[in-house]
Structure 1
Amino acid sequence: MYSAITHGIRVTVEPIFLEDQSEPDAAHFVWAYQVTIHNESDEAVQLMRRHWIITDANGAVQEVEGPGVIGVQPVLEPGEVFEYTSGCPLSTASGFMHGTYAMRRSESGDMVDVRVPAFSLDSPHGGHSIH
């Protein structure tokens, strides 16, 4: 698992290679990733936007931006946890992802960027490299 804390918000990610949804002979590799967001700060926050940077083993980069995650913009009170699972297909057997969540603090209304740690997308197919 990969974890980072920014502004009192802990983001933990666990990637899982999905062999049953992948087709290595067709250069199609799929991962799920479980994200846990834990508000360890002393005020409520709302996840407003996400920004992902996805890099495959060839160095090709995709960026994904949009409101919320999985169609919601959750509010996390101090001590609360929000979890979700999403997925990522690549045309290479490995890669990595990282990003940020734009969160609004409830008391001040200020927006803060919360770091999503870089995490490896590795499959049992092909060689592995350190990302």
Structure 2
Amino acid sequence: MADDAVSVSRDRPTFKVHDFSARVANQDIYFRVIKMKDSLLLWINDKASMTELAVAMPTRFDTIPIATKLLGPPDNLTSSQLAQRLARRTGKLCFLSYNLPSLPDTSKELIEQRLLEEMVTQPDCF
């Protein structure tokens, strides 16, 4: 009988975790980015929970990425909309968990602005 040995090699992990924060409307906001090979998971929160999760991905059929809500109330579109914008900006599949109480639009804009600043200063994390 021939020796049919199989060679197995291990790849190095490709996940990269990056944390940062911001103070918006007298509230501490925490961000965690998990960068994977061809996708991102972004978690935005003021405490340790994940009650919402959306996913968005670019498509060759439209310039606007498709998005859907995986967890949380369907009437709150913040996670889906931000995931779409992030997918369009990065060209990657983006999971986004936005777990903040109802904030005024100006606070949401400041949170997104902080995220975009981090994407510019730490591009290897996205």
TM-score bracket relative to the smaller structure: 0.3 to 0.5
Q: Which has the higher strand share?
A: 1
Higher relative contact order at CA 8 Å, sep ≥6: structure 1 or structure 2?
1
Scaled by the length of structure 1, what TM-score is found?
A: 0.32
> Rg larger in 1 or in 2?
2
